[in-house]
Each structure stands twice: as structure tokens, then as C-alpha cells.
Amino acid sequence: MAGIALLGAGIFARHEHLPAILASPELLSLKAVYSRSQTSATALADSLPSGGPKPDIYYDSPTEPGRGLADLLKRDDIVAVDVALPIVSQPEVIRQALKAGKHVLSEKPVAADVKGARELIEWYNTQLGENKPLWGVAENFRYMESLVFAGEEVKRIGGRVVTFKLEKFGWVAEDNKYFNTQWRKVPDYQGGFLLDGGVHFVAALRYLLGASGQELSKLVAYTALLEERLQPLDTIHGVASTKQGVNGSVVISFGTEFKNGTDVEIVTTNGTVSWNPTEVKTVTKEGESKKEFEYSSGVAAEVAVFAQAIKAGTEKVDGLQTPEEALRDLEVLEGLLESGSGSAKGKEVAV
């Protein structure tokens, strides 16, 4: 059983990562939690079920030595950390943890921009030696049961890919729990919710395209801000091409109050597979079939897979968790933002 620390006490850490760690007691033992504030770290620890051992609490405090992140990372009984911090805070914490010899599972996106991500990955691959700790990036959509099934359906029907689409429409209301976190309400990173949330749907599209042997290579897009408080942008309309020469569309919006839904679709000469988190629809010459799924974020599965890699003593994380795979998601999302804004608006961008 690997001792692990949860770094971060925000909404996703509390509601997804903490339960995921607790769901694998044969693989993981929660030893400590860390947050920038004592209040949030304490609240996270207190939210654990009663009767069991409580994790130690760490937080930033100039007046209480021995309570900081560096102190947590010195502990020999902690072999891994699960990093669920604000986007711009994560890269430096990832570096600290890896330098301390801890295996790291970090939340998506891999970094706030492609430049920072490439630098971090290059550092990881060249500066930590042959026996470096594991580093995985947690893109939970790749572990959704519904998406995995959709990928299997794409492979099953086969055929030459004709086109594809990603459509994600949604509304971030003023009382949305994620909107009401300061770092999301006033983002200091590109794209706002288009980066924080949109990268999930890019990952889903890439997963299904990969199942059909396709990879995105060129993008043309236009961006917009439909809801003023969702700065700096909330909507992308784009056209994408794959390395294999197939064209499709990418639409992501978090500012459409009266239009909601997700549809990622692969169309081949043998049929169509359409995915959303709770349903997969397949249409072929034989007819139409649907399979429904209870919603699951995929976080428990991704944490368990990461823990299995630690237990097995492997040199690499699962292929769906590599930093390089997360980098490709970010390259596509940043490419859409780059093509859609500023002087490059509507111009083709290679990714």
C-alpha cells in the first residue's frame, strides 16, 4: 500500500480526488493533505468519514514551522502526491514533488500554456535521471466507461473516417460552484473556462479519433465572449483537419444559456458513433443501437490505474496518463484559441 498526500482542497479535490483515493484502500493510504490555508486543509481532513485515521494537515504558515509543503515532501512514508491545485500553481508544485522523489499524479491541463508544458516535460525527461519518479496527468475523461465503450464501437464498426465533430454547449451560471472560485472567476491563464473545462472535450475527441487511427494536425477557428463575466472568452467555433486528411468541426461554448449538451461523433464509411457522458449511439446499415451509462467522472478509475503503476514498480505510467498525451490536448486547445483570437483570427494553425 502506497502512502499518498492530496495537495489541494478545492471543489474537485474534495468531491472527486479524495473519494477516489479512499476508494482504493488496498493500493493507497492517505497520509496527509495540503492546502495554502489552514482552514481549507482542516476542512478537507474533517470531511473524511469518522472512525478512521485522519491525515496530517499541512498548509502555508510563516509562523508555524514544519507545516509547509516542503515538510510534507520530506516524509519517507509518503511515496506519491495527487496534485489538484489551481492551474497556474501546479507546475512548480509538480517540480518540487518530483525533485523530492515522489510519484506525481497532477490535474489537467498539464500546464497553463504549451510553452510551459514543453519546458516542464523536457525537464522531467532530462534532469531527474534514469530512476525518476512516475508522473501522470489526470485527464479523467479518458477513463469514463462511456468513452471507453465508444472507442470500442469506433473500432468495431471500422471503415474509412469521413468526418467528425465535437459539440459542447453549456452555461456557467453565476451560482455555479466552479465559477465561484476566485482563480476561475478572475483567470490569469488563457481561455478561462475554455481551457479549464474545454480541454476535457478535446481529450474526448482525440480519444475517439485515435480509436479510428486519426490525429489532429491543423485548426482554423473563431472565438467569442457571449457572457461578459466569463472572461476572457467562452466560445470557440472551429474546423479541424487530421494528419490523414479528414476534416471535421469543433464547437465549445460555456456561454449558451438555452443550449446545452455534448456530442462527440465519428463518422465512417461503415457508420456513426456518437458519444456523450451518459450515452453512446451507434448507427450502421444494420440499424441503430444505444447504450446508456450512469454518469461517472472517471477519477476513481484514473487514480486506481496510477496506484497500480506504483505498486507494479513500472517505469512509465499508463499511456492515457502520460504528460505527452496531455500536452497534445493542450496543443489543440491552445491552437484553437490562437487561431480564433487576435492577429491570427481565422488563420490556420498547425498542432
> Are residues 119 and 190 part of one domain?
no
What is the amino acid identity at position 300?
Answer: A
Within this chain, do residues 22 and 132 fall inside the same structural domain, yes or no? yes
Within this chain, do residues 126 and 168 fall inside the same structural domain, yes or no? no
| Residue 280 belongs to a domain | yes
Considering the domain architecture, whether residues 89 and 217 belong to the same structural domain is answered as no
What pLDDT is stored for residue 129 in this prediction? 87
Q: Indicate if 59 and 113 belong to the same structural domain.
A: yes
The pTM for the full model equals: 0.96
Q: Hunting for cell 520530506 — which residue is that?
A: 74
- Please indicate, yes or no, whether residues 11 and 27 belong to a single structural domain of this protein: yes
The predicted structure's pLDDT at residue 124: 98
- pLDDT (tens digit per residue) in 254-272: 999 999 999 999 999 999 9
Q: What is the CATH number of the domain that holds 239?
A: 3.30.360.10
- Residue 225's domain comprises 142-296+331-350
Q: Quick check: is 326 in a domain?
A: no
Question: Would you state the pLDDT for residue 65?
Answer: 87
* CATH number, position 42: 3.40.50.720
Low-confidence stretches of the chain (pLDDT < 50) are none
Q: Do 51 and 168 have their domain in common?
A: no
Statement to judge: residues 199 and 345 lie in one domain: yes
> In the prediction, which pLDDT does 53 show?
84
Residues 101 and 157 both lie in one domain: no
Domains identified in the chain, total number: 2
